[in-house]
Amino acid sequence: HMIVEREDGSLWMLARTRPGIMESTSVDMGKTWSKPVPSKIKHPNARFHIRRLDSGNLLLIKHGDQIDAHSGRVQLSAWLSEDDGNSWKGGLVLDERKGISYPDGFQAPEGKIYISYDRNRATDGEILLARFTEADILAKKLVEPNSKLKMLISRPLAGRNSE
């Protein structure tokens, strides 16, 4: 699960579950939580990533090229919300391939967003990195010159013993 603080000071928790993302809210700094309800954000039983950016916008990394649909662990995509998660813009597909999962990331001081994720953990074992900006997300394509997707940062050596 992941928690972000909303502009009004409440906490918004999104939790990975078998049926999809569930959400809950706390208005007392996490002492109590509302009853979890299904989120409008549709996602498989897989990790997602959400965080507040320096601009104040929320960044969501999820599977699927639509906010309200998905087709499993494919199409890892980036979304922005300017209204604390009530609506989402963009849908920059970071990696369209199957077997991608476990996104995590941060925003660098200059504003670039870095997301790491893995591909085919049990077979290829690749760790990849995407570097992009809010402008790229909104354009649904790379528009900034230093943005880049699917950068391979780690892969097991061929024939390496896994013990």
Give domain status of residue 160, yes or no. no
Residue by residue, DSSP assigns the chain as: -EEEE-TTS-EEEEEEETTEEEEEEESSTTSS-PPPEE-SS---SS--EEEE-TTS-EEEEEESSBTTB--SS--EEEEEESSTTSS-EEEEEEE-STTEEEEEEEE-TTS-EEEEEEESTTTT-EEEEEEE-HHHHHHTS--STT-EEEEEEE-PPTT----
Look at residue 76 and tell me if it is in a domain: yes
71: domain CATH number? 2.120.10.10
pLDDT digits (tens, 9 = 90+) for 15-46: 999 888 999 999 999 999 999 999 999 988 89
The model's pTM is 0.92
In a domain, 162, yes or no: no
Q: How many structural domains compose the chain?
A: 1
